[in-house]
Amino acid sequence: MQVKEALQVTNLSVHYPGRIALDNVTLGINSSSVVAILGSNGSGKSTFVKACLGLAPIHSGTVSIFGTQFSQFKDHDQLGYVPQRIHDSMGIPATVSEVVQSGRLSHGWLRRFTQEDKEKISHAIEVVRLKDLENDSINTLSGGQYQRTLIARALASEPDLLFLDEPTAGVDLATQNVFAEALKHLVEAGTTVILVSHELGPLRPLVNRVIMFREGGIVFDGSPDAEAVDSHIFHDHPHSSSKPVLGWQV
């Protein structure tokens, strides 16, 4: 029985003024797999995710989701996305519970929550250990708590394909372990997870494939247990590592 691909990227390139962020990347990711995309700042890993979701301008190449080219893909409720730890949503008068509830809107009839919806919302909040803060405004949360809220929203939405962009960046080990527990629930539900990070940390046992990016291209694609994963240390430099265009670097 052939395994269905959740994501297929072919000859994907993304150019920004003065630099090539992604350079002719081709890869496929099977359904129900957990893939970690590793690399230093400027390596192209976050740009890859944004390009797959239509959030970055594609210079050339194609992206297909579950066999359908992204430009023709209509079932966006199948997709989940947790961006890097930013507070762009801060200032919105919403509680933790309300943010998590928004993950179930595509499941409800006329946006009315069923008992099943309510149970899944409550369960998601419990998994990320925010039950005692569920009625608090998101404006009062720490960065880690806010990120956990977004993870809970993704859990509640039950996506078929979930992109996580640096979910554990800047959070303590305890919070990383909470993320690992949430990821475990997603894996058990059959969700395909694409995780962008600098390192695997406590998420390693759940990952079955690692793809390393450098200078907009893939330099490793294999097992998380490979020696290359442990020996590869990502150093962040003051300058981008993206490839220069016309001989100059930005």
Tens of pLDDT, residue by residue over 171-210, are 888 888 888 999 998 989 899 999 998 888 888 899 999 9
The per-residue pLDDT for 85 is 62
pTM for the model stands at 0.85
Q: Domain limits at 54?
A: 5-89+158-244
- Look at residue 1 and tell me whether its pLDDT is greater than 60: no
Is 124 part of any domain?
A: no
Residue 150 included in any domain: no
Is there a domain that residue 125 lies in? no
Distances (CA, A) of 191 to 19, 45, 166: 34, 20, 18
Structure confidence at residue 231 (pLDDT): 66
- The count of domains in the chain is 1
Structure tokens at 220: 């490793």
- pLDDT band per the 50, 70, 90 thresholds, residue 218: very high
**Which amino acid type is present at position 179?**
F
Is the pLDDT at 49 greater than 60, yes or no? yes
Is 135 part of any domain? no
Whether 52 is covered by a domain: the verdict is yes
How far apart, in Å, are the Cα atoms of 59 and each of 14, 19, 23, 39, 54?
Answer: 5, 12, 10, 22, 12
Q: What is the CATH number of the domain that holds 219?
A: 3.40.50.300
Q: With a cut of 70, say whether residue 40 has pLDDT above it.
A: yes
